Structure formats: structure tokens, C-alpha cells
Amino acid sequence: MSTPYEPYLLTADGTADFGALRRYEERGGWAAARRAVTEMTPAEVIGLVKAAGLRGRGGAGFPAGVKWGFVPPPDRVPGPRYLVVNADESEPGTFKDQALLETDPHLTLEGAVIAAYAIGAETIYIYIRGEMPAEARILQEAIHEAYGAGHLGAGLYDTATRMDVTVHRGAGAYICGEETALLTSLEGGRGYPRIKPPFPAFSGLFGQPTIINNVETLANVPAIVNRGVAWFRSMGTEQSPGGKIFSLSGHLKRPGNYEAPLGIGLLTLLHDPRYGAGPWQERPFKAVIPGGSSVPVLRADELDVRMDFESLQAAGTMLGSGGVIAMDESVDMVEVLYNLARFYHHESCGQCTPCREGTGWTARILRRFHENRGREEDLALLLDIADQMMGKTICPLADALAMPVKSHVTKFPDEFRRHMGGEIPRYVPPSSWAVG
Amino acid sequence: MSLAFSERARAEIDRLLARYPTRGAATLPVLRVAEREFGGIDDDVMVLVADTLDLSPAQVRGVFSFYTHLRRPGWGKYVLQVCATLSCALRGCEGLADHLEARLGIRAGQTTPDRRFTLLKVECLARCGESPVLQVNDDMYVNVTPAKADAILESLP
């Protein structure tokens, strides 16, 4: 970066309770929605976001403009279109959407209005985690303000466009962050993912064309409309343009959300005093999960990587949601994996056998290790189960455990061998308490 | 069936139904209304919700059982949720949980005999940068030390 990075996502000061609209408008807020709706065609908005190269910030990294472009024209599929905001943030280690909604609800709302306009939707549903009642209230208040100011409702900006928003609270289920499970849940069912195709862009919510976008993805859109493609592409990398909120947690002096250009060094995020500021108790890092709990873990000697989609893929892991979990040398990787296995077993919806059974088997084998009763053959067994889970299910939840299993077992085999009746060093994570 | 929604709740349900093209889509929102109205969701409440939405009771039971965040019958006045997932585990949520178990004299998953507190171990609450995290009903508390947890509990009416 020749010029210093200027944040455009986390720009609000403090929480957004009352008067959020006035403060947002003072920072130039809602000008992009007005401009998109009154001066641009939907196709132009899609073209702009495509050209900017904005990739989904929820985990998969799919280009947002391309996704919007999948919505078929009304003569092919008639009836309403829906824009669904995925605010069901629940990937362990990720808390960026929570911050965006708490501090600046109008930013996401504005992005959602622009996206809805682009795909021809007049109805927006915001599916927010049940565990975020405060953020749901803040959003509701912001929506009320936006209706009052003419940013939502009928005759939007004196055009024929109409825009309605409904906040829909989830009720505690990680799987509902998966976009098709989210749709099933929004329709009033158990949160079961659906087989694709049909893709939601064709047949989604209530059987109608639907686009689901993550909160942070939408929060990028107003700035792209305001400042253009060249500005957006001046940050980040060729394949991963723009800025990103990185959620830092675990053994850091300054855990928290930090906005930085994509492609920033992981070591910078971990050590720079502006970001993580190094290990909290001066013990060196042992391992770092770079993109939320589902992605392969990196060893201490693998941390010299750039935080963008392509670099992390080349390093054998993923950017995912950008949730960086740092672990120092006091951590026992067996306990880390046991904690994650328990999580995914708890959150498996149970539809697909490889996931329902595989997450349970994995958790039970790891419990054996936790109780210092691991066996040498269990290492191969864990890898075999992970292979049986990868890519064999409707949604990626099975992969989300299989990838950590493979990376933990292959990168830290000696730690597992210490749990075969030998002397186990002191560990940090509390899996013994957490079971049940 | 004796159980019924209040006038106010019925008006709220009507407003909710207007926001969806199907009645079934209002299941979670109406369960939320029922949770407030009746203090928890037992079988009778599920039958009432099913009736209200023209769904079968089995359908509503199936949905209810899928989601962990809806109030179960028998839960205490205050539901204490301690996040136990990795980031919180790395920053000492076990100590917080141990402390609450000792202070309340119950294990995670249990309710105090006076029905004041239910203690739950839950999965990621999306506040990983400020762990340990404790959610008390709708209120989120972060960076919770045992002393801070004591102060929070003592401040509850």
C-alpha cells in the first residue's frame, strides 16, 4: 500500500442507539442508495459491483455482483424477488457483523437496499441471530428511522420503487448461517440445508428468486457506489479487492475487530500494535486459525501469509469469514480440536449420515484422547472419518469439522500421541466442562 | 383448550403475519411472542401456536425442538448463558462457568430450586474478542471475571 488505508466499514463512533440516522447521513450516508435508485439501472448497479470485484465476506468469497446477476429475468421466472441479509453470524471466532450492526445499522441497510434494487426485489428479510436481541432492536430502530426519512417504503426517492424490510430473529442454530438452511428456517422450518441446484437465485425463499448476502458484503456496497471501481480496487489484491474486517480473538493483547486491506500480512495482524499487538502473555504463538473455526489451522512456522482468498488457499487454508483465532504455546491442540468437534457435533442438523455420525464419532474419539486413552490407530481413524465426511453432504458443515481434524492431526501428531497414556502438559481450553 | 393469546399478542401476531406470504413463516416470530406471553414454551403453548398458524402441532414441536434459544418450560427467571466455544475457552470461560456453578450450587443445564437462575453452556455468542462472555436473558456482558459475574447477579431485580 503506497497510501495509508482509510477505513470505510467501521467508521461509526460508539454504539448506534438513538439518532443513528442523523449521524449516518452526516457522514454521507444513504447518498449511494438514492443515487443507485434514481440515476442507475439495476443492470448498471450489478455491472459496477461485478467490476469492483467485491467477493462475499461471509466465508465462501463468491463474487457478489456475479451472484446478483444469476437472478433470472421476470419473463423467465415471474413473481417477487427477495433479498435476504445473512446476519446469523455464528462461525466461532467471527464477530464482525455483530459490530457492524451494533454501531452502524444504516450502513448494512443501505447496502441491502442497493442490492435489492439491483436484483428487482421489493422485500428484504434480515435474518439475525437469536442471540443478538440488542442488535435486532438497534436494526429495528434504524429501519423505523429509514422509513420516516424515505429511504424505505413506497415511492422510494420519488420513483416507482418500493422497499420493505423485515427483521427476522433466529433462535440458536449455527447451521442457519448456511444460506439454504437460513431460507428453510425463514420459511418456518427446522434449519435444514437444501440440495443445490436449484440455486436460491432461481428458486429460493418461498420458491422465488432470492439472493442471500452477508452483512459485511452489503456494508461494502454503498462505498463502491459512492467512490467507484478504481477506488475499491486500489485496496487489497487483484483477486481479493477492497477492505475487510478481521476479527481477532484468543491469545492476543488486543483482541477485537480491525479493518484492513485484504492481503495484509497475518503476522502484521497478530503483532502490530495497531492490531493484535502480540501474544497476551508473551508466550510465542503455537497455532493460528486464520478464517473462522472451520478452516485448516496454521502452525507457527506457517504464519507468514497474506490475508486474502488466493494466498490463504495457496497456504492450504482459507480466508473464510476472516476470524483469526490465535493460540499460544500453553495450548493443547487435542483440546482445541475436541472443543471444535463438540461444537460441530452439537450443531449438525442431522440430515446427512456422514455429518450426523461423523461429527459424533470424531467427538467421541477425541473424548478418548482427552481422557488420555487415545490409541495410535485412532490417528488414522480420525483422518479416515474426515475423508468420509468431506464433500459428501448437502452443506459444508461436515467439511467444517473435517478440515480442522485433518490439519490438527497431520500438523500436530505428537500432541495426540501424548494423549495415549503419557504425561499430558497443562492445557488451556475447557473441554471437560463444555461437554453436555 | 383454555390457553389463549392476549388481545395485545393477537394484534402483534397479525402484524407479523402481514410480513410473510405464508403463515408458517411466522413460526419463529410467533414462538417469540408466545415465549414473552407465557414465560416459556410447553406443549400446550405449541398447540396454541400451531392452531394460530394453521399448522399441525407436530410441525411446531419439530421446529421448536430444533432451536436452542427458545425458552423451555421450567427455566428460571434469569437464563445465564456462558459461551464455551474455542475463543472463549482460550480466555478462561471454564473459570467463569466453575464460579457460577459453585455460586449457584447447580451444574450447567440446571435451574436453581427457587427458579431464579438457569445456567447454560452454549456455543459461540459472536463476541469472541471480549471473552469470557455471559448472556443474561437479553443482555450481553463481556470480559466477565468471576467478580464481575457476582456484581451482575447481585444487580438483578
Length of chain A: 436
Distance from CA of A26 to the nearest CA of B (A): 29
Cα Rg for chain A, rounded, in angstroms? 22
For A24-82, how does the pLDDT look when each residue is reduced to its tens digit (9 = 90+)? Answer: 999 999 999 999 999 999 999 999 999 999 999 999 999 999 999 999 999 999 999 99
pLDDT at B153: 96
CB contact under 8 A, A327 and B90: yes
Cβ atoms of residues B115 and B152 within 8 Å: no
Q: For helices B146-155 and B93-104, what crossing angle results, to 10°?
A: 50
For B65-122, how does the pLDDT look when each residue is reduced to its tens digit (9 = 90+)? Answer: 999 999 998 999 999 999 999 999 999 888 899 999 999 999 999 999 999 999 999 9
Cross-chain CB nearest to B94 (options A132, A346, A430): A430
pLDDT value at A287 more than 70: yes
Closest CA to A8 of A309, A269, A268, A219: A219
pLDDT value at B1 more than 60: no
Distance from CA of A176 to the nearest CA of B (A): 10
Extended beta strands in B44-154, E state: 78-83, 117-122, 134-136, 139-141
User: How would you list the strands of the sheet with B117-122, edge to edge?
Assistant: B117-122, B78-83, B134-136, B139-141
Give the DSSP letter of residue B49.
H
Binned at pLDDT 50, 70 and 90, residue A429 comes out as low
Chain A residues 128-167 with CB within 8 Å of chain B: 129-134, 164, 166
Distance from CA of B114 to the nearest CA of A (A): 23
pLDDT at A427: 59
Mean pLDDT throughout A116-134?
Answer: 96
Mean pLDDT throughout B2-25?
Answer: 96
Binned at pLDDT 50, 70 and 90, residue A3 comes out as confident
Residue identified by cell 422497499 is A163
Buried b (16+ CB within 10 A) or exposed e, A329-339: eebbbbbbbbb
For A94-103, how does the pLDDT look when each residue is reduced to its tens digit (9 = 90+)? Answer: 999 999 999 9
Spans of all domains in chain B? 7-66, 78-155
pLDDT at A422: 78
Q: Which CATH architecture has domain B78-155?
A: 3-Layer(aba) Sandwich (3.40)
Question: What number of other Cβ atoms are within 10 A of residue A262's Cβ?
Answer: 24
CB contact under 8 A, A134 and B28: no
For A228-283, how does the pLDDT look when each residue is reduced to its tens digit (9 = 90+)? Answer: 999 999 999 999 999 999 999 999 999 999 999 999 999 999 999 999 999 998 99
Cβ atoms of residues B123 and A174 within 8 Å: yes
Chain A residues 48-107 with CB within 8 Å of chain B: 80, 89-95, 97-98
For B35-76, how does the pLDDT look when each residue is reduced to its tens digit (9 = 90+)? Answer: 999 999 999 999 999 999 999 999 999 999 999 999 998 999
Binned at pLDDT 50, 70 and 90, residue A356 comes out as very high
pLDDT value at A425 more than 90: no
Q: What SS3 state is found at B140?
A: strand
pLDDT value at A359 more than 60: yes
pLDDT at B47: 97
Q: State ipTM.
A: 0.96
pLDDT at A405: 98
- List CB contacts of A372: < 8 A, sequence separation 6 or more: A419, A420, A421, A422, A424
Distance from CA of A25 to the nearest CA of B (A): 28
Residue B90: list chain A partners with CB under 8 A. 249-251, 325, 327, 331, 428-429
Please state, rounded to an integer, the average pLDDT across all residues of chain A: 94
**Verdict on whether the full-model pTM lies above 0.90:** yes
Give the DSSP letter of residue A300.
G
Cross-chain CB nearest to B28 (options A131, A171, A174): A171
CATH number of B7-66: 1.10.10
Percent over 90 (pLDDT), chain A: 92
Mean pLDDT throughout B24-30?
Answer: 98
C-alpha cell at A256: 477485537
* CA pseudo-torsion sign A374, A377, A379, A385: negative
For B125-144, how does the pLDDT look when each residue is reduced to its tens digit (9 = 90+)? Answer: 989 999 999 999 999 999 99
